[in-house]
Structure 1
Amino acid sequence: MNRAYRTIQFSQRDHVATLTFDNPGKRNALDLQMRDEIAEIVGLIGESQDIRAAILIGAGGHFCSGGDVRNIAASQLGNAGWRVRMQNVHRWLQELLTLDKPVIAAVDGAAVGAGFSLALAADFILATPRARFAMSFLRVGLVPDCGAFYTLPRFVGMQRAKELMLSTRELSAPEAQALGIVMEIHDADVLLQRAQVLAESFVNASPTAVSLIKRTLNVAGNADLAALLEIEASTQALAAGTDEHRGAVDAFLNKKPFPFQWPQG
């Protein structure tokens, strides 16, 4: 499945969806058109039972340079207008954050402001050596958005999240990896290939187990031990009833490789 949009390339191959930000004149800035297109595509990914994993990547040597500042200046929104603007973003952002399938962000070049936030909405972040990340909102007198108040502290802890948001300083790919933001660093010419290999590995994973793991981790930071143990019991009961579990057990008993294998980088 391939669909043409003005600011995004969307394709599907072998149960993997790839969403490519493609607005080169603005270094893939998150303008209103792109937001509308992301909303539609995230909805398609969420509804599709054929898609088992998704990749977010940017064209032209950048991931996403954040919000479109010129558009923001021209819009002259008041308080009510800003609330509506952000609430429209939050509808698809929450859907992206709670997708039942793995999301991989492949970051080359700039991932700043809302672009950084979009990368943090993924489950795994791969980067090139020239990738750079910055919570740049305070530079223009704004607060972080696109879910960063939720995601960034979960990656780096509260103190470091405050430092990154209040300093607006830029992170290199190696520092972002040291902080636990970036999982792997790869050269630009193999970045997408590695993201595809990682995404394709989930085609052989239990979609039920993947969904339950993601859902449980999304609430783990706000649940006490007793609640998490109850969730664990319920989700394990569901996972144990799947064909994928029975197939994996059969493979083990017959000394065959497990169907799901994490691909080594």
Structure 2
Amino acid sequence: MTSHFADTPLVTLTDGVLTLPVSLEGKGNSLDSDAVDQAGSALRSLLAGDIDAGAVLLVGLGKNFCNGGNVPGFAAAEDRAEHVRELADRLHAVVRMLDEVTVPVVAAVSGWAAGAGASLAMAADFSIGGPDTRLLAAYPGIGLSPDGGMSWRLPRAVGQSVARAFILGNEPMDGARAYQLGLLTTFVEGDVRDAARALAVRLAAGPRESFAAAKALLRASEDATLSDHLDAERDSIARLAVSADGIEGVNAFVAKRSPEFGRG
């Protein structure tokens, strides 16, 4: 099933996967303001329960995932500071919601992911890259500092030294190296978009309550003590043990069959 939304024509829902483009073919695959706004609208609907999706897929509609902000637009703005601030606010609303959604988020990082594009790739639970993938901080090249959460996520993923070298050095990193260092979660030799789509479809058919609980625990772990977090894990697994998917998963394992989640 494919669903198109009247107010968000760039957004689609197919096989339980909510696909959100972040860049269009024109303007060098830069971050598209309309695409960002439509992504935000769709994510708000997902969080409100108005959209039934089991995974979110971030894609670029051109040959690249996203080449960062529309720099000529920065230059043309009458008030550059206010223009950039507004764009950052709109982007950050999307980044916050990507962190809040309870379903897995997958990014198809084909071609270049620079600046805000790299930040969005890092905002996903799964970032899929390949031989043609190139990551670039980009911000120092135009005299700016990171946005989109890059300076928060990257040190936590790869450590301060690698994060500083990537951002300050501002040199392209190929997909294989990015995967080796942890900037990408998955490296494929085939088509990145196909692989990301296949993963998103598989995840969309998975146990949503399990995914939601795992994401909540991972988020809470950043500020919790081990002792408190062990209590949270105990309470969570006990709650899921009597959920529809928990019952189905355990029963299917005992019966040596594949579980059919989402049927309860």
Q: Could you tell me the TM-score, scaled by structure 1's length?
A: 0.88
Structure 1, gaps ≥5 residues long: 261-265
Match of 2:185 in 1: 183
- Higher deviation after alignment, 127-136 or 45-54: 45-54
Match of 1:209 in 2: 210
AA aligned to 2:74 is: I
3-state SS, counterpart of residue 173 of structure 2: strand
AA aligned to 2:71 is: V
| 1:98-118 CA distance string (max 9 Å, x none) | 211001101111100000001
Give the CA deviation at 1:4. 6.6
3-state SS, counterpart of residue 44 of structure 1: helix
Match of 1:71 in 2: 73
Determine if contact 2:31/2:69 at 8 Å carries over to the other structure.
yes
Give the CA deviation at 1:203. 3.3
* Whole-angstrom CA distance in 2 between matches of 1:161 and 1:5: 38
Determine if contact 1:134/1:168 at 8 Å carries over to the other structure.
yes
- Percent identical among aligned pairs is 29
Number of aligned positions between the proteins: 258
AA aligned to 2:210 is: A
| 1:139-190 CA distance string (max 9 Å, x none) | 11111101112221222112211111111111100000101122323346x3
Match of 2:194 in 1: 193
Determine if contact 1:29/1:68 at 8 Å carries over to the other structure.
yes
Which of the residues 112, 115, 136 maps onto 1:113?
Answer: 115
Distance 1:122 1:252, change over 3 A: same
* Whole-angstrom CA distance in 2 between matches of 1:74 and 1:24: 21
Distance 1:81 1:71, change over 3 A: closer
- Higher deviation after alignment, 152-161 or 195-204: 195-204
Give the CA deviation at 1:233. 2.0
Distance 1:31 1:49, change over 3 A: closer
Determine if contact 2:110/2:193 at 8 Å carries over to the other structure.
no
Match of 1:263 in 2: none
* Whole-angstrom CA distance in 2 between matches of 1:135 and 1:183: 18
- Higher deviation after alignment, 129-138 or 198-207: 198-207
Distance 1:37 1:237, change over 3 A: same
Match of 2:155 in 1: 153
Distance 1:111 1:14, change over 3 A: same
Determine if contact 2:178/2:184 at 8 Å carries over to the other structure.
yes
* Whole-angstrom CA distance in 2 between matches of 1:20 and 1:41: 11
3-state SS, counterpart of residue 125 of structure 1: strand
Whether 1:37 aligns to 2:38 is yes
Structure 2, gaps ≥5 residues long: none
3-state SS, counterpart of residue 24 of structure 1: coil
| 1:41-69 CA distance string (max 9 Å, x none) | 22233334520001111122100000000
Which of the residues 88, 93, 96 maps onto 1:94?
Answer: 96
Match of 1:246 in 2: 247
Give the CA deviation at 1:247. 0.9
Match of 1:56 in 2: 58
Give the CA deviation at 1:81. 5.6
Q: Could you tell me the TM-score, scaled by structure 2's length?
A: 0.88
* Whole-angstrom CA distance in 2 between matches of 1:2 and 1:49: 12
CA RMSD of aligned residues (A): 2.2
Determine if contact 1:111/1:134 at 8 Å carries over to the other structure.
yes
AA aligned to 1:194 is: A
